[in-house]
Amino acid sequence: MNVPDDLKYTETHEWIRIEGDQARVGVTDHAQEELTDVVFVELPTVGDKVAAGASVAVVESVKSAGDIYAPVSGTIVAVNEALVDSPALVNTDPYGEGWLFTLKLDAPEEVAQLQDAAAYRALLGE
Amino acid sequence: MVDFGGWNMPVQYTGILDEHHAVRNAVGVFDISHMGEVFVSGPEAANWLNQVLTNNIERLEPGECQYTFLLNPDGGVIDDLIAYRLEEGRYLLVVNASKIDEDVAWLQSHLAQGVTLENRSDEFAGLAVQGPRAAVLFDRFFEGKISRPARNEIKRYDACCTTVWIARTGYTGEDGFELFFKAEFAPTIWQSILEKGSDLGIRPCGLGARDTLRLEMCYPLNGSDLSASHTPIEAGMSFFVDLEKPDFIGRSKLAEQRAQGVSKRLVPFKMKGKTPPPRSHYKIFKNGEAIAETTSGTLSPTLGIGIGMAYIPSEFARINEEIEIDIRGRRFPATIEKKPLHRK
């Protein structure tokens, strides 16, 4: 399972990449595999204020709908519009073209509470 | 892997969409060993089956089969099944995995003189080979030792070491075969079918594709679209109910519904445009009022649009009627459609 070392992770299988005072969020390789073929992504709205742990997006496969939680608190500053027409990017490139949204961090200290790659691999039992 | 009627089964192998398209365009193989196999035999078998099942078993010649229902006295569905007439006085009922115990207990409690019931579900494995290339694969697999059964027929094939029952039936809307045989041979036959079909584009298929394929055809799934609180008439399955038979369990309720009409009917719907996929137990609105909830729903891989089924009040259960499906608090437009949703 692909778990890049430079990202932080949540127990609910989101990844987060810190880019200055913003953070980019997506779902992990493990999550996309569990979801199966993604056919629809419901994205948050730019400007939404979200609290860490709040449900902010829904990724739907043929099989089921999965809630996506904000790893940290902040304001949504961008969403991946490409997913509207190409939701399968979540499967083919979960850490790249399949990103979901970016948010401006409210409390950068929250990032320290997320898991690093080693801890996330342990969670997956690897 | 998920628990399905007590069986640990894969939702997918290569991916639901990939498997779905393989069955529509080439061929796929499903492990259906979870299905129950109940043998009914004896001089009174036909008469007795006509008492407990809705369809008319007398219409079957040896080697033919029919879709039929097992009902409770109120006309509600206990199970839907295929009854095969294997030979004179001997029948095979293939029933849903999750209902084996309930079906067998019900049948045992209504058993008549001159009828023997054998639940051999644990002994038997089953494979369904489905898709436009299934016939070619059949010929390769059996190497001309047996001809293909015709649609809705079943044939007995005695191989070197065991008997295989081969039926031209399925749950996908495609041409195909279902094979039933002793479980110990399952891994060998499964592997052999996959190898012989590899250049035909064969895929092993899981429960996910089984569900999307059957829903495009509007084949009901017991426990979702069928239940003890709905009759086959409400489910739009009158074709498989013979009210000319003098009696069968549940008949009086069905005759009453036939005469007076039903208050709701199971109908398929299609979402309009790009929406989240509908799923079961989503509320349905008409003129601002909640009128029903979905019994099944998915994204149709063939149509590329959300589809589903629901018991809709009869006044609205008409083709092209517009309804709204509530998905996470937002309502999306849909229209009621004719069965099946997928046509060749």
Strand B2-4 and strand B7-9: the pairing is antiparallel
The tens digit of pLDDT for each residue in B166-189 reads 999 999 999 999 999 999 999 999
Task: From chain A, pick out residues whose CB is under 8 angstroms from the CB of B298.
Answer: 62
φ, ψ of residue B313 to 5 degrees: the values are -50, 135
With CA atoms as reference, report the closest residue to A16 among A45, A41, A53, A46.
A53
A interface with B, Cβ–Cβ < 8 A, is 36-37, 39-40, 42, 58, 60-65, 84
pLDDT greater at residue A1 or residue B60: B60
| Domain locations in chain B as residue ranges | 2-214, 263-344
* Residue B161, pLDDT score: 87
Q: Which residues of B touch A62 (CB under 8 A)?
A: 16-17, 208, 212, 277, 298-299, 301
A39 vs B18, B299, B328: nearest CB: B299
The rounded mean pLDDT for chain A is 95
Contact between B16 and A63 using a beta-carbon 8 Å cutoff: yes
pLDDT higher than threshold 90 for residue A66: yes
Checking if the pLDDT of A94 tops 90, the result is: yes
- Report the CATH fold assignment for B263-344: Elongation Factor Tu (Ef-tu); domain 3 (2.40.30)
Hey, what are B252's tokens? 């009086």
pLDDT digits (tens, 9 = 90+) for B144-166: 999 999 999 999 999 888 999 99
A91: closest chain B residue by CA: B15
For position B7, what pLDDT does the model report?
85
Residue B1 in this model has a pLDDT that exceeds 90:
no
User: What average pLDDT does the segment B125-150 reach?
Assistant: 97
> Which of B276, B299, B328 minimises the CB distance to A62?
B299
The CATH code of domain A10-105 reads 2.40.50.100
Q: How far away is chain B from the Cα of A58, in angstroms, using its nearest Cα? A: 9
* Nearest residue, CB atoms, A36 vs list B11, B274, B275: B11
Does residue B6 have a pLDDT over 90? Answer: no
pLDDT at B63: 98
Residue showing tokens 């295929």? B82
Domain at B2-214: CATH code? 3.30.1360.120
Contact B15 A42 (CB under 8 A): no
Is the bond leading into B340 cis (omega within 30 degrees of zero)? yes
H or E segment to which residue A73 belongs: none
What single string gives the DSSP state of each residue in B39-54? EEESTTHHHHHHHHBS
CB contact under 8 A, A62 and B301: yes
> What is this model's ipTM?
0.85
* B17, B274, B275 ranked by CB distance to A62: nearest: B17
pLDDT in tens, B259-295: 999 999 999 999 999 999 999 999 999 999 999 999 9
Residue B296 clears pLDDT 90, i.e. is over it: yes
pLDDT value at B52 more than 90: yes
What confidence score (pLDDT) does residue B2 get?
A: 81
Cβ contacts of A91 within 8 Å, gap of 6 or more: A32, A35, A37, A38, A98
